[in-house]
Amino acid sequence: MRRLRGLRALLIGALLIVASAARLIPGARTIDDAFITFRYARNIVEGQGFVYNPGVSTLGTTTPLFTLLLTAASAFSGSRDFPQIAIVLSAAADAVTAALLYGIARRVMAGMPVGGRTEVGGGRAEARPYDEIIAALPGLLWAVSPMSVTFAVGGMETSVSILWMTAAVAAFLASPRLGRGALADGAARGDAKPGDPPARPYEAALGVFAALGLLTRA
């Protein structure tokens, strides 16, 4: 058991490092839309308010949460290099997502037939080292996925949105009764709008979950 704990800590650390490095080493490849959000964040930090043009109260950013995160990071660090701040936030979000995917895979595998695991007291199955390595693969694939890296270095909110969705699923798996609200709550999508590409798989999963719930109550 102690050896497995050490292996889990090692795997989590490796996922955090790989995911962060895969995004920080290439550096920012900021797309045009991100600069709208950067301007809002800059104006907030400089005391102009949540506006694009000072004195004109219009909401032109589609990602208010990410705007506030950029603002907080800028105020804390004293930096106004928003493309760099954005990639650091995205790298951190994707690193946590990779670790959460590892945890989700472990929970899913724990509910599968024993197979390569060893039965212990009470019929519970004790994971073996290679189970932990297999469970880490989804997080590793996410960490190095070219598409996830591309979105992360683009300066947009995608990484934070996916982190919220993954965290909601992890909360549900940890406690279905308590996590159901997080899973069903639209706020768990982070800044992703309904129909946005990051939200579509999540919305599809919600649809399946709702359908299964209706079937089980029928």
Tell me, what's the pLDDT at 45?
A: 96
What is the mean pLDDT of each successive set of 10 residues along the chain, which is 218 residues long?
Answer: 83 97 94 94 95 89 90 95 96 96 89 51 60 93 94 93 86 68 51 53 57 48
**How high is the pLDDT of residue 62?**
83
Domains contained in the chain, number: 1
Tens of pLDDT along 178-202? 555 555 554 445 555 544 555 555 5
Phi/psi of residue 90, nearest 5 degrees: -65, -40
Q: State the residue range of the domain holding 8.
A: 2-217
Report pLDDT for 81: 96
pTM of the model: 0.79
